[in-house]
Structure 1
Amino acid sequence: MRMDVLGLQAFVSIAERGSFRAAASHLNLSQTALSHRIRKLEESLATPLLLRTTRQVSLTPAGLALLPRARKIFEELGSAIDEVRADAKDSGEQVVMGCLPTVAMHCMPGVIAEFEKRYDGFRVRVHDNSASEIASKVQSGEAEFGVTIVAANRWDLELKPVVKEPFLLVCHSSMPLAQSESLTWAQLQGLPLVRISAETGNRILIDDALGSRRETLTWRYEVQRVITAVSLVRSAIGYAIVPQLALDIVDAGELVAIPLRSPTVTRTLGIITRKNLPLKPPARYLLKLISEALKRSVSAR
C-alpha cells in the first residue's frame, strides 16, 4: 500500500496541536482541506484516528499507536533530506577525478596550485589508480573525469587523446649500459628486467609493441606499480622500463634514464568522461590545466 504522507503529516500536526484550526494554520491549509486529508487517511486504514468534539480533539487507541511511529517516519525523512542537501553542497564544492599515479605525481601539484587561484576553497580529490580502476570510477560517477592511457574504450565513456609519452629504460648509474645515449630492445637481452603488472596498462602496451620479441627478454621480477620498480632499480638488482613522466621519481644522482628504440614504444595519455554528461565549470577548468601540463611535460623532455 502506498504511504499517505500528506495524511500522516496532517494527523501528526493535529495530534501535536490539539485542534484542527491550529494544525490548518501551521500547514497553511484550510480546515476543509485538512479534514479531507484526515478522512482519506482514516478510510485507507479502515479505522478512526481522532475523536472530535466541539471543544477538543483526542486520539483513538489506533491514533495513539500510530503517533510515535508517524513521528519517527518524519524524523527519518527529515534526516535523509538534510543528508542529501549536505552531500549536494559538498559535491558542488569539489572536483573528483581519476589519474594515473605517474601523471598525478608529475602534474598535479602545479595544476592544483593554479586551479586554486581561480577556485579558492574548492576541494580537489584525486583517485591515483590504475587505468582500469580509473575507467570504472568514471563509469560509476565516482569521478567526474579521468586522466589515463588511451586503450579500448567502454561504450558509455568518451576518450580524448592528449599526448604521446615514450617508455624509457631506467638503470642504476653503476650498472652496465648506464652510459648509453640510447638502446635497442635487442640490447636488453639477458639483463634482469623488472616487469610491471598488466593491471596498470603499461605492460600490455609494451607486450603488443614487441610481439614475440618480448619472450627473448628476461623478466626476472614483477611488481604492481612503477614506483616499486624504480625502488628495485635503485638497489641495483635490475632494470625497469617506465613511462617518461615517471622520471620524477628517479634520483638523478643514482639512476639514469635511457631512450629505447627499434621499436620506440609509447603510450597515449588522454581524458575520459561519461558520454553526453557535460562537466561543471570547475572540472572543465581543471581538465584544461591538466591537458596543458601534460603537453608541456612531454615536449620539454
Structure 2
Amino acid sequence: MRVDVLGLQAFVSIAERGSFRAAASHLNLSQTALSHRIRKLEEALGTPLFLRTTRQVSLTAAGTTLLPRARRIFEDLGSALGEVRVETREGAEQVSVGCLPTIAVHCMPSVIAAFARRHPGIGVRVHDNSASEIADKVQSGEAEFGVTIVAANRWDLELKPVVKEPFVLLSHRSMPLAAAPALSWAQLQGEPLVRVSAETGNRILIDDALGPRREALSWRYEVQRVVTAVSLVRAGIGYAIVPQLALDALADGELVAVPLRAPAVTRTLGVVTRKSVPLRPAARDLLVLLSQALKRGVAARKDESK
C-alpha cells in the first residue's frame, strides 16, 4: 500500500485542531480540498477516521489508533530532513579527498594553503590511505575524489592519469651506494633492502616490473608503510625502493635518492572519481591545485636528477 502523505497530513491537522475549517486554514487549502484528502485516505483504509456533527469533529476508534502513529511518521520525517540539511550544509563547507600517504605529505600542505586563500570558508578532509581504501571511499561517496595509483579500475569509477613518477633507491648518505649517479637492479644484489608490504600498490608494481629477478635481491626487512621504510634507511639499516616523491616528503639532508635503471620502474598517479557524479566547484578547484602540485613535484625531482 502506498503511503498517502497528504492524507495523513490532513488527518493530523484536523485531529489536532478539532475542526475542518481550522485545519484547512493552517494547510492553506479549501475545505473542499481538505475533505477530498480525508475521504481518499478513509477509502484507502476502508474505515472512517472522524465522527462529524454540525458542532464538532471527533476521532473514531480507528482514528484514535492512527493518530499517534501518524504523528510519529511526521516526527521521524522531520528528523530525517533535518539531518539531511545538516549533512548538506556541512558537506558544502568541506571538501573530502582521498590520497596516498606520500602525496598527502608531499603535496597537501601547500595545496590546502592555496585552497584556503581561495575558499576561506571551506575546510578540507584528507583520507591518506592505501590505493584500495581510496577507491572504497570514493565509491561510497565519503571522498569526492581520490589521487591514487593508476591500476585495474572498478567498473563504477573513472580513473584519469595525471603524472608518471619513477621509483628510486633511497639511501643514507653514509652508505656505499649513495654516491652512485644511477644503479641497475643487478647492482643491488647482496645489498640489504627494505621491502614494503605486498598489500600496497607500490609493491605490486615493483614485483611485476622485475619478474623473477626480484628473487635474486636480498629483501631483508619488510614494513607496512613507506614512512617506516624511510625511518629504517635513516638509521642506516638498509636501502629502500620508494616513489620519488617520498624523498621530498619524508626525508631530510641525511638521505639521497639514486635513480634506478634496467629496468626503470614507474608508477602512474591519477584521479579517481565516481562515474556520472560531477564534482562540486570547490572540489574541482582543489583537484586542479593538487594535480598541478603533483606535476611540479615530479618535474622538479627530474631536473635535480639530471
**Deviations 1:244-274, CA, capped at 9 Å, x for gaps:** 1111211223x33222222221111121223
TM-score when normalising by structure 1: 0.94
Match of 2:172 in 1: 172
1:128 correspondence with 2:104:
no
Spell out the pairing of 1:1-301 with structure 2 (5 A cutoff).
Answer: 1-247=1-247, 248-253=249-254, 255-301=255-301
Q: SS of the residue aligned with 2:179?
A: coil
Write the distance in 2 (CA, Å) between the matches of 1:158 and 1:70.
44
Instruction: Give, as a single letter, the amino acid of the residue that structure 2 aligns with 1:294.
Output: L
Which blocks of at least 5 consecutive residues in structure 1 are unaligned?
none
Q: SS of the residue aligned with 1:178?
A: helix
Q: SS of the residue aligned with 1:104?
A: helix
Contact persistence 1:97–1:125 (CA under 8 A)? yes
Write the distance in 2 (CA, Å) between the matches of 1:4 and 1:258.
71
Contact persistence 1:131–1:199 (CA under 8 A)? no
Distance apart, 1:18 and its partner CA: 1.1
Contact persistence 1:132–1:199 (CA under 8 A)? no
Q: Identify the range of structure 1 (154-163 vs 98-107) with the bigger mean alpha-carbon deviation.
A: 154-163
Write the distance in 1 (CA, Å) between the matches of 2:11 and 2:160.
57
CA RMSD of aligned residues (A): 1.6
Distance apart, 1:44 and its partner CA: 2.4
Q: Identify the range of structure 1 (193-202 vs 239-248) with the bigger mean alpha-carbon deviation.
A: 193-202
Distance apart, 1:104 and its partner CA: 0.9
Q: SS of the residue aligned with 1:199?
A: coil
Write the distance in 1 (CA, Å) between the matches of 2:158 and 2:72.
45
Write the distance in 2 (CA, Å) between the matches of 1:60 and 1:155.
56
How many aligned residue pairs are there?
300
Q: SS of the residue aligned with 1:177?
A: helix
**Deviations 1:8-37, CA, capped at 9 Å, x for gaps:** 111110111111100011111111111122
Which blocks of at least 5 consecutive residues in structure 2 are unaligned?
302-306
**Deviations 1:189-210, CA, capped at 9 Å, x for gaps:** 1122111123221111111221
Q: Identify the range of structure 1 (97-106 vs 48-57) with the bigger mean alpha-carbon deviation.
A: 48-57
Distance apart, 1:71 and its partner CA: 0.9
Distance apart, 1:288 and its partner CA: 0.9
Write the distance in 2 (CA, Å) between the matches of 1:297 and 1:235.
26
Q: Identify the range of structure 1 (226-235 vs 173-182) with the bigger mean alpha-carbon deviation.
A: 173-182
Instruction: Give, as a single letter, the amino acid of the residue that structure 1 aligns with 2:7.
Output: G
Instruction: Give, as a single letter, the amino acid of the residue that structure 1 aligns with 2:193.
Output: L
TM-score when normalising by structure 2: 0.92
Distance apart, 1:150 and its partner CA: 1.6
